[in-house]
């Protein structure tokens, strides 16, 4: 009887024909590993591409979202460790080895995840800004994680199943299903590690419209609901105290600017608040400067300021939605 694989790579994919070949090519040849692609009712050649590459393909009858697709992939996994990859990432060659080493070195470890690298494939400013920001946030966060990331994250199969898997009913879209799973695991006493050396290249091309839709509808709104549900410990990644203060300062700048039309001296207050905002986020701008130069860093400043404005609007919107929903339930 053949030895079971040491690792199962589970890749949910919906209409991923443009990026899946690169994702599978990076996984090809990883010894002791099986690859499972869950075709989430694609209308393009996703399934055919996966089959040609030698992956095991699971077909979902209707589009159900990445949470349901990952659950289906874990159900057929033949290994004790499952590595989730998004279909639009290309893992570094050492990812599988590092994942397995983490579990060998930490027998009590439930899960481990990494980050995007600092070389995103898409060259546009929005894509570079977004992907580099993700890299920066993960690289500057605590290794003792309170959440999880399915873009490149591994978990013990038995722990995943015992926890009930990802909540596919609550998250039928690519939202924060992995974040919610991580908080659930931590609340049960499991340990999750952020290994900053485990990295993948993101292949997605971001547009400003797509970024706003994702950050507000698929991140801010469900994240707000999760926070209001009583989940504790979400004080890392992009929810650190510095990020919360930055959001207040951003709106303080806007308030001072508007008030200045009635009392011009308040514009000076706004300038001072803006200076504090820039200093508070100076490390991020220095990171952008080191990676992409002065012009990119300068362009990132108004974009980052805008990020805090629309994220806070999303939080306020989500809070109102949560209050309305709670009142209806009562």
Cβ atoms within 10 Å, residue 134:
19
| Residue 240 confidence (pLDDT) | 78
pLDDT of residue 233: 60
- Model confidence band, residue 326 (pLDDT cutoffs 50, 70, 90): confident
CA 283 to chain centre: 21
The percent of residues in the chain predicted with pLDDT above 70, rounded, is 97
pLDDT of res. 1 = 58
- pTM (2 decimals)? 0.94
99-134: pLDDT as tens digits:
999 999 999 999 999 999 999 999 999 999 999 999
- Fold held by 7-137+144-206: Spore Coat Polysaccharide Biosynthesis Protein SpsA; Chain A (3.90.550)
For 57-84, what is each residue's pLDDT tens digit? Answer: 999 999 999 999 999 999 999 999 999 9
Which 8-state DSSP code applies to residue 281?
T
Give every CB contact of residue 67 below 8 A, 6+ residues apart in sequence. Answer: 165, 166, 167, 168, 171, 172, 177
Task: Give the residues across from 7 on adjacent strands.
Answer: 33
Report the alpha-carbon distance of residue 147 to residue 241 in Å, rounded. 17
Confidence of residue 242 (pLDDT cuts 50, 70, 90): confident
Q: Vertex 74, ends 69 and 78: CA angle to 5°?
A: 140
pLDDT at 235 over 70: no
Count of alpha carbons within 13 angstroms of residue 142, beta-carbon side: 12
pLDDT confidence of residue 158: 98
Q: What is the pLDDT of residues 154-210, one digit of tens each?
A: 999 999 999 999 999 999 999 999 999 999 999 999 999 999 999 999 999 999 999
Going from N- to C-terminal start, the domains of the chain cover 7-137+144-206, 238-329
Q: What pLDDT, on the 0 to 100 scale, is given for residue 238? A: 66
Give the C-alpha separation, 53 to 292, whole Å: 35
CA–CA separation, 155 and 73 (whole Å):
13
What value does the mean pLDDT of the chain take? Answer: 94
pLDDT at site 56: 97
């Amino acid at each position: 009887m053949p030895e079971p694989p040491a690792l199962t790579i589970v890749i949910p994919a919906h209409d991923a024909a443009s990026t899946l070949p690169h994702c599978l090519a990076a996984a090809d040849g990883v010894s002791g590993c099986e690859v499972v692609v869950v075709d989430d009712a694609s209308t393009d050649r996703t399934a055919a591409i996966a089959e040609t590459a030698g992956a095991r393909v699971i077909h979902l009858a209707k589009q159900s979202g990445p949470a349901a697709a990952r659950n289906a992939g874990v159900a057929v996994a033949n290994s004790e460790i499952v590595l989730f990859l998004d279909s639009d990432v290309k893992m570094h060659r050492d990812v599988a080895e590092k994942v397995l080493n983490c579990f060998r070195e930490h027998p009590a470890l439930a899960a481990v995840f990494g980050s995007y690298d600092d070389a995103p494939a898409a060259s546009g400013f929005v894509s570079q800004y977004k992907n580099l920001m993700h890299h920066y946030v993960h690289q500057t966060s605590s290794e003792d994680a309170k959440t999880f990331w399915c873009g490149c994250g591994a978990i013990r199969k038995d722990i995943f199943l015992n926890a009930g898997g990802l909540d596919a009913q609550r998250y039928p879209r690519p939202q924060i299903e992995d974040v919610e799973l991580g908080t659930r695991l931590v609340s049960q006493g499991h340990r999750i590690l952020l290994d900053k050396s485990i990295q993948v290249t993101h292949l997605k091309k971001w547009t400003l419209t797509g970024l706003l839709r994702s950050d507000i509808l698929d991140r801010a709104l469900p994240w707000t609901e999760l926070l209001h549900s009583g989940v504790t410990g979400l004080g890392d990644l992009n929810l650190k105290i510095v990020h919360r203060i930055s959001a207040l300062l951003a709106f303080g700048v806007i308030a001072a600017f508007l008030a200045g039309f009635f009392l011009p001296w308040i514009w000076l207050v706004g300038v001072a608040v803006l200076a504090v905002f820039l200093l508070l986020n100076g490390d991020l701008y220095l990171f952008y400067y080191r990676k992409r130069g002065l012009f990119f860093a300068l362009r990132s400043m108004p974009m980052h300021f805008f990020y805090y404005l629309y994220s806070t609007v999303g939080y306020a919107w989500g809070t109102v939605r949560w209050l309305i929903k709670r009142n209806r339930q009562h």
